[in-house]
Structure 1
Amino acid sequence: MTAALHATTIATPRQVERLIQGVATSDGAGVKLTRVLTRDLQRRLDPFLMLDAFGSDSADDYIAGFPDHPHRGFETVTYMLEGRMRHRDSAGNEGLLGTGGVQWMTAGRGLVHSELPEQQEGRMEGFQLWLNLPGRDKMRDPWYRDIPSGEIPEVELPGARVRVIAGESHGVVGAMQREATQPLYLDVHLEPGTRFEQAIPAAHNAFLYVYRGGLRFDTGCLVPSGRMALLANTPGSDGVRFTAAEEGTQAILVAGRPLNEPIAQYGPFVMNTEGELLQAVRDFQAGKFA
């Protein structure tokens, strides 16, 4: 689904508060990845808890995948740029996440799932974003949706193509909406020298991550590939504006309304209090997850 529309005009754009270099790590059964949004940024980027970027042409870096593991209290959003991953969970859901597709999972009161590659060679690349749930929803029933690439709405502007995973861009409503956190999740592709503008409410926290090429802000700040730009919460701001560098750029732009609630995390459990975390561990050990 593609729409050709006119660009938004931003009067008071946000600028870059700071650039962040991700931390190389591994997770699951040894999958190599870069943790871009780390725990020390959770309060600053509320409601977002984590962002992992993964990408490799070597099967040894991803082939073991993520065997059975639990979650409670938040949502996982996996965006596959290239590759295939099979999802199975204890609620009986199963799906294949393919190139360009999104897997949106609400862990809610708890489930156990696995994410295992369905390829023995070739490139696997993408992102996993953790989105917090408000306290009132943390014990809701688990939920899951596979969104194939062809079901993600797109916007076409001069020199730009924007995939609208969540939220809204230039009048095009994305594949997912969430009332409490109002997430915006865009995959922005810009030709060299193209300027892009996106409306973002002033109260939302926002960041972007460049995964190809580079982009530049009006202040001259260059964001190269492999860097996160944490966007300043400028009073009265109405959005963001940036320009692709000479080689063009591909970047994800993410924003959301903060929950302003306490964050208590123990590994794959994210609740509001330490007591709720202890209960999550007890429930998991007792086999009470879906």
Structure 2
Amino acid sequence: MTTRAITRILPAQATQDGAGVRLLRVLGYQHHVRMDPFLMLDAFSSDDPDDYIAGFPPHPHRGFETVTYIVDGHMRHRDHLGNEGDLRAGGVQWMTAGRGIIHEEMPQQENGLLRGFQIWLNLPATEKMQPAHYRDIPAADITTAELPEGGFIKLIAGTIPWATCPLVGPGQGAEQSVTQPLIADICVMAGQSVDIPVPATHQLLLYVFEGQLAAEDQAIAAGHSVWYGEQGEVVRIAPAAEAANGVRVLLLAGKPLNEPIAQYGPFVMNTQQEIEQALRDYRDGVLAQPAQGA
């Protein structure tokens, strides 16, 4: 099998979101730094409570999905539908905002390390106004494939030869989505490598968050995303020679929607008129209500 070639390497950008949570924005800090169908990828990691304690108070979404993966720490989700999720280390929450949801995500710790990711996954135009859905997937239900010397693949969405993810995503599961997302937390120890098959239809990147990645003739440090071209059947993941403790990456791959994107903050639609409608609906208190006749 041939491996995909690197097309670009980008550093994540430091920013703040919510009520002042410090994070690194990997995707979405500029509109051209997206990877269809992924709109945004945020990485947060701090053992200073001042960086995260204010959390993400109630805020709306429409038109896409959020996938939150906690690596370390404890966070609670609540939304207007009455869902409440207790997201602990290794767990995932998958929220399909659809036509509208208002939720909050608040740390449940006053000290210690809080580390994880939030991914925004676009919905096709035909699914943007579906009813909202929410699901918690605890760490014990995340499919994990063991690799040599203590490495692993934690499969959050999609299918690889070793495993298939639990049912998550819009309504019945990510495998039902037209974007066919593949999302995995992959740790490879020193002296090892793993080839991950990625469909030819999918765009692909790796975000390095521990150690250093061997990428062709380079060592890619943590805090960088590595983007790959469309040619090739697999992506090879191996630590750089300098990475004595191996490398850990978040893999994102998905089938592009190739649809126009209109975004205003937490609303992602296809046209400016739809954004204006979302703003009116939020102003009038009907954004998160079921559509008439639903």
The normalised TM-score by structure 2 is: 0.91
Determine the C-alpha separation between the residues in 2 that align with 1:274 and 1:133: 16
Q: In structure 2, what is the Cα distance between the partners aligned to 1:275 and 1:152?
A: 39
Note the C-alpha offset of 1:259.
Answer: 0.4
Establish whether residue 168 from structure 1 lines up as the match of residue 159 from structure 2: yes
- List structure 1 runs of 4+ shifted beyond 6 angstroms: none
Counterpart CA distance in 1 for 2:29 and 2:49 is: 28
Match of 2:212 in 1: 214
Aligned-residue offset at 1:171: 3.3
Deviates most, 98-107 or 224-233:
224-233
Answer whether contact 1:155 1:170 (CA < 8 A) is retained: no
Following the alignment from structure 1 to structure 2, what is the Cα–Cα distance between the partners of residues 12 and 110? 42
In the alignment, the residues of structure 2 paired with residue 62 and residue 92 of structure 1 have an alpha-carbon distance, to the nearest angstrom, of 24
Instruction: Decide which of 52, 60, 64 is 2:42's aligned counterpart.
Output: 52
Q: Which residue of 2 aligns with 1:229?
A: 226
Pick the aligned partner of 2:237 from 242, 246, 260: 242
- Deviation for aligned residue 1:168: 1.2
Work out the CA distance in 1 between the residues paired with 2:32 and 2:282: 24
In structure 1, how many angstroms separate the alpha carbons of the residues matched to 2:263 and 2:61?
A: 11
Q: After TM superposition, list the pairs within 5 Å mapping 1:107-126 onto structure 2.
A: 107-126=97-116
Partner of residue 292, structure 2: none
Task: Give unpaired runs (5+ residues) of structure 1.
Answer: 1-10
Offset, 1:49? 0.1
**Structure 2 unmatched runs, 5+:** 169-173, 290-294
Deviation at 1:173, TM superposition (A): 0.2
Q: Distance in 1 between matches of 2:32 and 2:63?
A: 15
SS of 1:283 mapped into structure 2: helix
**1:275 aligned residue (273, 277, 291):** 273
Q: Which residue of 2 aligns with 1:8?
A: none
Which position in structure 1 is the counterpart of 2:180?
182
* Greater RCO (CA < 8 Å, at least 6 residues apart): 1
- Residue 247 of structure 2 is aligned to residue 257 of structure 1: no
Separation of aligned partners in 2, 1:99 and 1:253: 18
Taking structure 1 as the reference length, the TM-score comes to 0.92
CA RMSD of aligned residues (A): 1.3
1:134-213 alignment to 2 at 5 Å?
A: 134-159=124-149, 160-175=151-166, 176=168, 177-178=174-175, 179-213=177-211
Q: Distance in 2 between matches of 1:264 and 1:186?
A: 28
The answer (yes or no) to whether the contact 1:73–1:109 under 8 Å persists in 2 is yes
How big is the shift at 1:42? 5.4
Is contact 1:42–1:49 with CA below 8 Å preserved after alignment?
A: no
Q: What is the number of equivalent residue pairs in this alignment?
A: 277
Structure 2 residue aligned with 1:105: 95
Distance 1:113 1:80 in 2: 17
Letter paired with 1:223 = I
* Deviations 1:248-272 (CA, angstroms, capped at 9, x unpaired): 0111111000001100000000000
User: Would you say the 8 A contact 1:44–1:205 is kept in 2?
Assistant: no
- C-alpha contact (below 8 Å) 2:13/2:29 kept by paired residues: no
Q: Deviations over 1:211-248 (max 9, x none)?
A: 1101113x2232211111011222xx212113112320
Shift of residue 40, structure 1, vs aligned partner: 3.6
